[in-house]
Amino acid sequence: MRIGVPTEVLDHEGRVGLTPAGVQELVGDGHGVVVQSGAGVHSGLTDDDYAAAGATLTDDPAEAWAADLVVKVKEPVEAEFPFLRDGQVLFTYLHLAADRPLTERLLEAGTTAIAYETVQDDSGRLPLLAPMSQIAGRMAGMVGANLLDATRGGTGVLMGGIAGVAPAEVVVLGAGVAGAGAATFALGMHASVTVFDNRIPALRRLDDSFGPAVRTLAATGQAIEEAVLRADLVVGTVLVPGAHAAQLVGRDLVGEMRPGAALVDISIDQGGCFEVSRPTTHSAPTFRVGEQTVYAVANMPAAFPRTSTFALTSLTLPHVRALAGEDGWRAALDADPHLAKGLNVDAGGVRHAGVAEAHGLELAG
């Protein structure tokens, strides 16, 4: 099989779909791998590294996209839509529930699109999303601490406070991988941390790890409202696999928050969990809503591309090898029910219930 690795084109997106080590494995399996020049440079991976691993280098993105299996990191943007076609298998993060134009283009093109973020294990966890969620969660604490700086319009509260002065109040919505990462980082900065979730086992895991250092509360509307109104920083990490994120903080509630309070919406890839959220970029990461600041960068882990690339590709490579197997991608999905849950679109039909529901489309059988 011919496998293509295009250079990512999103703002400040330096991650890459395969490392040279992954290329070497695939070439050893008998496949041809085409890598667009410069695809790995921001992850510290040179064209010479890829050539030494057996890849064919190209300056033309169309050549990388012409492969039977295209392996990326982020969803195609409008400039890449012309490369989508029938008979092509695309393996990447897609987040289609929050992207109607891309969903429609994939359907029109007849592309087979398999999303990292909806591959699930037996426990319902999302193994290919987990490392990026962990990075984004930890980043949320870093970003939030900076946004509280009064010179940036923040509350002027130091995350950890000092002796005799209270620390920042941090509220985390969601106790999954991203939420746990955000809570861990904020706690490490000695902030006062409250985590909400409607899954008691997830809250129990945090309680077992940190005890009373982290307050864990059931996610009722009243409890969330009370905590948000006291917060200096709110981190949204709500996720329903493949579906649009639930909006837990309305516009009116944001307007009632403390002047200078900050909101970091990790859920923005799936539409965001704050009503005021809209996707931002690393070049322009924040916007103001009244006296509050919102950070909603849709590719947060791209800020640390080397860490992110190696964390992601170590997990995706076995699936890439399976999809490229001699029996084809259908056989790979038949053999692996976890990978099969990653199928979002195929042959002009929506194959994932969350995507179909988000856009009011019929779910193909």
Query: Catalytic residue positions?
Result: 95, 269
Tokens of 277: 């959220």
Q: Phi, psi (5° rounding) for residue 58? A: -140, 145
* Strand ranges inside the chain, DSSP E: 2-5, 32-36, 56-58, 69-71, 89-92, 112-115, 169-173, 192-197, 214-218, 233-236, 262-265, 286-289, 292-295, 343-346, 349-350
Instruction: Please give the helix or strand (H or E) that residue 28 lies within, else none.
Output: helix 20-28
**DSSP single-letter state for residue 62:** H
Contacts of residue 257, Cβ cutoff 8 Å, sequence gap at least 6: 228, 229, 231, 234, 292
Torsion of CA 122, 127, 129, 131, to 10 degrees: 150
Query: 110 — phi, psi (to 5°)?
Result: 80, 15
**Whole-angstrom distance, CA of residue 301 vs CA of residue 143:** 12
Q: Distance between CA atoms of 279 and 252, rounded to whole angstroms?
A: 20
CA distances from 223 to 132, 239, 248 (A): 29, 19, 11
What strands, in cross-sheet order, belong to the sheet with 286-289?
214-218, 192-197, 169-173, 233-236, 262-265, 292-295, 286-289
What is the enclosing helix (H) or strand (E) of 314?
A: helix 305-323
Beta bridge partners of 58: 36
